[in-house]
Structures are given as C-alpha cells and as structure tokens.
Structure 1
C-alpha cells in the first residue's frame, strides 16, 4: 500500500474513530458472519486466522471474542499484520489487557508480505482498509493465495459507491466547504493541492467488489449493507485521521487540516440541524473454491 508512517501521522490515527460503539458493532457483525462458516474443529488441528491491516487490534480482539463464544480456544493461531510498528505496539497491549484466553501474534508487514508470513489460512480479515488499496483485484488474489481451499475471507468498507445514505451527501460537501473556508480565513498561506488525488477516493460499487472476488477464486460471495449511525463527535474523530485529512484537504499540513475539519464538522451539523449522520457499510464474506 505504500502508506508512509511518520512521527506526525502517529499523532493523527484511526484509533479514536475505531473506539466508537457503532464501529465495534459493524465489525463484530462481520466477524460473526465470517466465522459462522468455520467447520467444526477437527481433533488437534490448528485453526489459523489472520487479521490484515490489523491496526491497533480492534478487530483482532473481536475475532478472539467470537472464537471464545464458539468455544474454540485450543490450537488457535491468530495473527495480526500491519505496516505500522506503533499500531502493533498498541495492538499487543490491548490484547494483553483484554484478558482473553487466546493469544495473538502481531507482525509488521505489508499485504504483499503475507505469503511469507502465513499459508493455508482458515480465515482472513481485511477490515475498513480495502478502499485504500489501488489494485483491489490484486489484493483479493493475494488473500486467495494464502487461504486453504474452503478458506473464508471477511472484508468491509464504508468508502464505496453506495456508502452515502440518500440525503446525506450535502453534509459531506458542506463539511469540506466549511473547512476550506476556515483555512482561507485563519491560514490564508495554506493552499489545497490540485494534483493530489487521494487513494481513498477510488471507490467501487458492490457489484464490482463481487466481480473482483469471484475473479480471484472466491465462488461464494455474501454481501450485506449495514447502516451505522455516527454522531458528529464520531465524524470529528474521523476528521483527525491523517489519511482522511489528506483525502478531504489534499496538500494541507495535517495539523491545520485536523483543526479545520474539527471546527467545520460542528458548523455543518448546526447549519443542517443534525446531531448524527448515518453511513452504509458494505460487509463481504467470500469463500475460496
């Protein structure tokens, strides 16, 4: 993915957004839907599950919780992989503090390192990050290559064609417009870059995702579209995430972009009389041939 981690990006993380209850619920539903396809455990066979782009381990912990709920705590190999060393440190700490009877191994790596890290995987997850990958078909083929036959893949995104609940588009436009207005007034020296086309803006439709998965060797693809109600505070937290800032306000220094989006989200909410704005998540579960 080539997302460069710096001391500055470590200040503007996805973690505050991921801490909201709606985010946990959306991902818990995907984890349940995915792991419902697991076959009964064979005697002493190791069950290998990988959480790609695991970040600070929010989904890794949900996977462990669901395995405990299913009564599977023995012979589990749970692996979280992420390019960010800082995120992995937090993931390890969070897993230890959870007190769950399943241990997870967290490894630093990009998606293309996966075949060197794990093979013959029973289930793989890639949550809330597929929209950041420029070549989605190649990413799905990569996942398919590490899964055992009949392996299960759970994936979701709230950045796709269909994510905007009808009638909410105006909120996003107004939020950006107010942020740009704040920058012009408070920091006229900061200019938006016309060249920087954010990766996060390359959105696919649900059908394009299904097609890419089928082309990558997944015969059965289940999709669900789930609405999450997100408060203005939740949107504010997303607006503090460096990749979102770069997408919304390309070329603006992160500190200024974060400030602008913080002020503007409440202005937009007030102008539209909104305290929350719903968003549709695309949940996908695919089974390898």
Structure 2
C-alpha cells in the first residue's frame, strides 16, 4: 500500500509561498485566511468524519491506522509518553494513539477551532478517555506549550489549512523533546496515471454535491477540495520539513498519492 521515498525527486509547482493568501483557488488578503478557514470548520465540525469519508471514500480510517502503527507509541515505561496532536479537534488520532498504547500514553489535542474541540471532548468523555486526552485551544503557528515537552507531534489533514506552514513546522520542532518524532498525514498529489483524472473528477464534482446533500452547504467542501490542489507536492513539503530543522525526513504515499505520511525526527 505504501512506499518510502526520498525528498529530492522534483520541484513543486504548488508554491508554498502562496499558502498564506490561498483560500482554495481564491486569493485573499494577508491575515484573512485563518478566519475563513475557521468558518469552514465551524460549519463542518459535527460532520467532520463524514467529510473525511466523502473526501477519501472511507480510506482516511485506514491511513490513520497506518499512521498510528508507524508512530508505535510505547505500551509501558517509567514515565508517561506524551503526544501533541495538532489540528485534531475531534480527537480521532489521539484516541487511536492512546488505545494503541494500552491507555498508557497521554495526549493533548490542540486545535484553533472551538467547535471541533467541543466534538472531541464529547467523544473522549463517551469513550472513557477524559483522563488520557485533554483538549487545548491554540494556534499551530504559536503553540501554547513550553520547549521540549512532547515525545511526538502528529497532525492529520490539518497542515494545509495553516496559513504560515513553515512557522508551524518550526513550532512543531520547538515543542518536541530530543529524539521526538513529527508525523504529518495529508491529502497530496496523485502519482498514478489515470487515477489522477478519476480522483479530480470525483473531488470537484461529487464531493461538493455530497456535502450540500449532507449538510445543506457545499461550499466548505469545495474549499477543502481546492486546498488539496494548492498544497505543495510531497517532495517539496518534505523539503520544508527538513528546512524547519528536522532530520531523517521521509514520506510514504498511500493509495497512489491521494494521501502521504511525512516523517521527521528532532535529533
């Protein structure tokens, strides 16, 4: 299903410098993107998993399980192993990690969107995980945590919604301990001939229509589809992770590049 790749295969035409003013295919003013993105996630918070099911044909669940398997949180230790999951308001990744650890890991979910955090808190309480997962409202570009706090940092399908991605990557490295691992799962560029055209047709035609049918509003889903096409290619994003100071940077494509898992270490 997946294959490791090095980081210098080709140069991206999806310019990272455009991301701070790119709201999907619409160019917005400096400082305007974050509020627009927040509004999208306020609208879809209650249907977030449904949204990911639509955008990935249900495969996001398989990719998330693979991500947690790669992370391999320890099941025992002299001290609590700590995870920071950023832009993970519903607690989807944090729940998987805590369960994978045999409920020995501690996780903090940090999200800028209060509606998403509300969904996550409710789910954690229902699952009996309130003692293992805590929720904190904060910005990925300016994390409210001290240096060298966490053993791992994860972000799944959230980095492309951050206006200043290089700043968020530097913050990720700052809050990690030495030997800590960064993992980012994100929709990416399809690299299988033929599949790219099928995926584009499905994304631009079916997903907004299904979003409107499910929630009554297709525009948030149109933004999310467009934002995938503006995000840097796998190789360029891996370079950005390396530029932020991470080492041993690799990525692994899933499902022909529909999604990619990026890894880096703070050494």
RMSD: 3.3
Partners of 1:120 and 1:175 in 2: how far apart? 38
Higher relative contact order (CA 8 A, sep 6+): 2
**Correspondence for 2:197 among 170, 179, 187:** 170
Task: Give the superposition deviation at 1:91.
Answer: 0.6
Task: Give the superposition deviation at 1:226.
Answer: 1.2
TM-score by length of 2: 0.68
Partners of 1:286 and 1:100 in 2: how far apart? 28
Task: Give SS of 2:232's match.
Answer: coil
Partners of 1:177 and 1:46 in 2: how far apart? 46
State the partner residue of 1:288: 266
CA contact (8 A) 2:86 2:155 kept: yes
TM-score by length of 1: 0.63
| Superposition map of 1:257-276 within 5 A | none
Task: Give the superposition deviation at 1:207.
Answer: 1.7
**Correspondence for 1:4 among 26, 34, 38:** 38
Task: Give the superposition deviation at 1:287.
Answer: 1.0
Partners of 1:13 and 1:119 in 2: how far apart? 34
CA contact (8 A) 1:18 1:58 kept: no
Partners of 1:95 and 1:129 in 2: how far apart? 20
Partners of 1:7 and 1:156 in 2: how far apart? 18
State the partner residue of 1:15: 49
2:67 is aligned with 1:33: no
In terms of mean alpha carbon deviation, does 14-23 or 124-133 score higher?
A: 14-23
| Superposition map of 1:1-289 within 5 A | 1-2=34-35, 3-5=37-39, 9-10=43-44, 13-18=47-52, 21-35=58-72, 41=77, 43=78, 45-68=79-102, 73=104, 76-100=105-129, 103-116=132-145, 119-158=148-187, 160-161=188-189, 163=190, 165-171=192-198, 172-173=200-201, 176=204, 199-227=227-255, 280-289=258-267
Task: Give the superposition deviation at 1:97.
Answer: 2.0
Task: Give SS of 2:193's match.
Answer: coil
> Taking structure 1 as reference, are residues 175 and 17 closer, same or farther at Cα in structure 2, changes over 3 Å only?
closer
**Which runs of no fewer than 5 residues in structure 2 stay unpaired?**
1-33, 209-225
**Which runs of no fewer than 5 residues in structure 1 stay unpaired?**
181-197, 228-277
- The structure whose Rg is larger is 1
CA contact (8 A) 2:98 2:106 kept: no
Q: Note the alpha carbon deviations across 1:190-244, whole angstroms, 9 max, x for none.
A: xxxxxxxx654322122212211122121112321111xxxxxxxxxxxxxxxxx
